[in-house]
Amino acid sequence: MNHLMKRIFSLSALLLSACLLLSACGGSAGTNDPANGASAASSAAPSPSAPADSPAPTEERIASLSIHLTNHLLALGLKPVGSAIGGDVKDFLPHVKDQLEGVEKLGVAAEPDLEAVLALKPDRIFIDVQQTAADQPRLEPIAPVVAIDLDQGTWRDHLRLVAKETGREPQAETFIADYEKQAAETSELIKSKLGADAKVMAIRMTAKELRVMGMARPVGPLLYEDLALKPADGVENIGKAYEVISQEVLDDFDADAILVIISKGSEAKKNFELLESNPLWAGLKAVKNGHVYVLDGQKWLDYSSLGHKMALDDAQKLFGS
């Protein structure tokens, strides 16, 4: 009897060991099962030595209360969850509207829709201090505010500030380098069409007035610095964005080429058609030589990185044909 009991105890111990061994193997197989891998990965802490091709973290939710800051974000490959709209068009600007599909409209910069901003639950809110500073105290309880003064510095400076805030400095430098290369190529293209010493001016027809665009932004630096074109006589003395003129003085500028921006709306278009029918217009050197070019105005008036890049695209299309 004692001998039989010893054999039973030995057999039981053997069976117990086998069960433990199978259980351990089963546990290992479970952790390697693809069906269980997602659960295991989601609960594990991220490794500081993760491989370079690991998925990037989810982009933060950015609300932009400036159309120009929105376009800087787009230039860096970032799409905000909400954006300000253009005051004139009451919508996203036409030249970038297709890139903002699914983005919430947050009102114009000077009067943002704070309820819409709150509903988005953004991680951060980007504002232009010149336009939205009065609303900053009401925005700060919603999310941290990044305030950038777009009146200070150039669009390159603004792009770099946005890039620094979003960790996209390399993308900003690549964008700027590509832009400089395209600007040099576009400059040569224009000069090959007009002549190296051609004098250029840009005018804008609105519903109420005729403007000569000056040396200041948005158009001046693009034409006379980036594209290195020569300003028509007297343009160099217009140190602001534009100067209102009468049709009678157009000939005084002695421009070899005239770039035309027509504001939105039927009145501006009608006014330009009236100008074209004026004998004074027909007598201009640029008109007689066929060097009048109607620009895609929204792109040229958009003082942002993306707007400038699109303006170069427009110039290449116009002067490359």
Percent of the chain at pLDDT > 70 equals: 82
Q: How far apart are CA 257 and CA 38, in angstroms?
A: 63
Is the confidence at residue 115, as pLDDT, over 80?
yes
Mean pLDDT of the 80-88 span: 93
Residue 166 confidence (pLDDT) = 97
Q: What is the pTM of this model?
A: 0.80
Give residue for tokens 């200041």.
216
Residue 30 pLDDT > 60, yes or no? no
State how far the alpha carbon of 147 is from the alpha carbons of 110, 124, 126, 130, 158, in Å.
14, 11, 6, 9, 11
Taking residue 71's Cβ as centre, other Cβ atoms within 10 Å add up to 30
pLDDT digits (tens, 9 = 90+) for 141-187: 999 999 999 999 999 999 999 999 999 999 999 999 999 999 999 99
pLDDT given at position 74: 98
Q: What pLDDT score was predicted for residue 21?
A: 36
Quick one: the chain helix, strand, coil %, rounded to 5?
Answer: 50, 15, 35
Rounded to an integer, the average pLDDT of 76-101 is 94
221: exposed, middle or buried (Cβ count in 10 Å: 0-12, 13-18, 19+): middle
pLDDT of 321: 75
Q: What domains, with CATH codes, occur in the chain?
A: 62-166 (3.40.50.1980), 183-320 (3.40.50.1980)
